Amino acid sequence: MPVEIKVEGKRFKELKKLDLLELIEKNLSKVEKTLQAEREAFLIEKKARLEEKLREIEDELEDLRAFYEKALRDKELMTSVREKLRRENEELKKELEERRREIDNKA
């Protein structure tokens, strides 16, 4: 990736006199430190965003867990009500059969 640097004419003449390779090597450590600091800042920001996202996901998970537990309790309640109604229905059927037999026996 080519890098383009624009320099004023006067400054360019001064730079022409200097050994650019030496200048670059001399400042390379400063550039590396700057890039490292920028990278660390970027990673710190990214870490903060990911931690926030993790908290949101954990909150959603807790909501889902609560919903699931409520659904289980509701299912147990509905199962017990259904069982109770089934037993009542059986009893009523037996009573109805007994009454029919009594009526048939009287007739």
Q: Is the dihedral of CA 23, 26, 30, 31 positive or negative?
A: positive
Instruction: With a cut of 90, say whether residue 15 has pLDDT above it.
Output: no
pLDDT tens digits, 37-79: 999 999 999 999 999 999 999 999 999 999 999 999 999 999 9
Q: Of all residues in the chain, what percent carry a pLDDT higher than 90?
A: 67
- Residue 3 has a pLDDT of 75
**How much is the average pLDDT of 66-93?**
97
Contact 7, 15 (CB under 8 A): yes
Residue where the block lists tokens 């800042």:
41
- Residue 104 has a pLDDT of 86
Residues 6+ apart with CB under 8 A from 15: 7, 23
**How much is the average pLDDT of 77-104?**
95
Nearest CA to 90 out of 78, 79, 82, 102 is that of: 82
